[in-house]
């Protein structure tokens, strides 16, 4: 009998006596020049522009476990005419770290926007983790999009992965879904966006994804320019404050689109930054 896709309700079975340590990398696969800063930082000067980095984050663990936070994008349809620089498929970009697409064991989807979800099917052996409330808010039973925030092709793709038993729906906040990797909710970039805390040799790293676009959000506790409830930024600001409590050091909080990551963490280079 084929099992239904898992509904992730209890995490006790995953609780380790000693959490494994991961190497964490930001991997850049595209850029964009001159995005409006006010769309990234609430209340910013509307005349200012900000360069963007499009990234996935690779967590390399023991025993060959390779976990991605987000999967990037590759379909021309979802790019909607963006003038990208230095684009390569995310599955090609992670090869800089010696990881083939088939070597990726897990993908944690922070939220359903095209630039974070679209590439999930590039990794044929990966199990996908997404918040239950996020999935159910955006994806219908037959794979149709329930909200314009998710692209039609991505809703269908995610539903197909779900029906194939390759998706676990995470049930809420502060869940250790994989030993040493915990997901948190409350950023409200989308309906139930999540971010990640991961144990490393340098301590706990927080990968914010779009719950904090830039270091400017974090430095000023200023909400992102796009939240699920426009005009209500309280939860996003509180989430950023919580990230400071979760991370071992503020320098180990990594925003979702800031090219400065590759200046603050210059090694090993070539579009890859080890967070340590």
pTM metric for this prediction: 0.93
pLDDT category at 19 given cuts 50, 70, 90 is confident
Residues of the chain above pLDDT 70, percent: 94
* Strand arrangement of the beta sheet that strand 181-185 belongs to: 175-178, 181-185, 194-200, 203-209, 253-255
Q: What is the pLDDT of residues 151-208, one digit of tens each?
A: 999 999 999 999 999 999 999 999 999 999 999 999 999 999 999 999 999 999 999 9
One DSSP character per residue, 8-69 reads: E---GGG--SSPPPBEEEEEEEEEEEEEEGGGTBTT--TT-EEEEEEEEEEEE-GGG-EEEE
Neighbours of 119 (CB within 10 A): 27
Res. 42: pLDDT tops 50:
yes
CATH number of the domain residue 246 falls in: 3.60.15.10
Q: What is the extent of the structural domain holding 250?
A: 7-274
Mean pLDDT over each residue of the chain, to the nearest integer:
93
Residues of the chain above pLDDT 90, percent: 89
Helix (H, G, I), strand (E, B) or coil at 131: strand
User: Is residue 1 included in any domain, yes or no?
Assistant: no
Domain count, the chain: 1
User: Is residue 37 included in any domain, yes or no?
Assistant: yes
Name 178's bridge partners.
181
């Amino acid at each position: 009998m084929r099992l239904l896709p898992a509904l992730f309700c209890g995490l006790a079975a995953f609780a380790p006596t000693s959490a494994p340590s991961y190497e964490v990398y930001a991997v850049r696969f595209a850029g964009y020049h001159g995005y409006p800063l006010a769309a990234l930082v609430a209340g910013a000067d509307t005349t200012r522009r900000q360069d963007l980095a499009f990234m996935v984050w690779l967590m390399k663990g023991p025993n060959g476990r390779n976990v991605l936070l987000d999967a990037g994008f590759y379909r021309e349809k979802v790019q909607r005419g963006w003038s990208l620089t230095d684009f390569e498929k995310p599955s090609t970009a992670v090869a800089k770290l010696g990881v083939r697409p088939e070597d990726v064991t897990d993908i944690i989807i922070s939220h359903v926007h095209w630039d974070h979800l679209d590439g999930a099917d590039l990794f044929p052996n990966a199990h996908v983790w997404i918040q239950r409330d996020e999935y159910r808010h955006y994806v219908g039973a037959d794979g149709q999009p329930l909200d314009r925030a998710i692209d039609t092709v991505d809703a269908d793709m995610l539903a197909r992965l779900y029906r194939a038993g390759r998706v676990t729906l995470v049930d809420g906040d502060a869940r250790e879904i994989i030993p040493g990797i915990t997901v948190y909710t409350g950023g409200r970039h989308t309906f139930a966006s999540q971010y990640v805390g991961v144990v490393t040799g340098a301590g706990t790293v927080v990968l914010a994804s779009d719950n904090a676009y830039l270091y400017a959000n974090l430095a000023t506790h200023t909400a992102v320019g796009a939240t699920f409830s426009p005009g209500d930024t309280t939860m996003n600001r509180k989430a950023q404050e919580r990230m400071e409590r979760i991370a071992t050091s503020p320098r180990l909080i990594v925003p979702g689109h800031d090219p400065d990551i590759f200046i603050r963490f210059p090694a090993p280079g070539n579009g890859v930054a080890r967070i340590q």
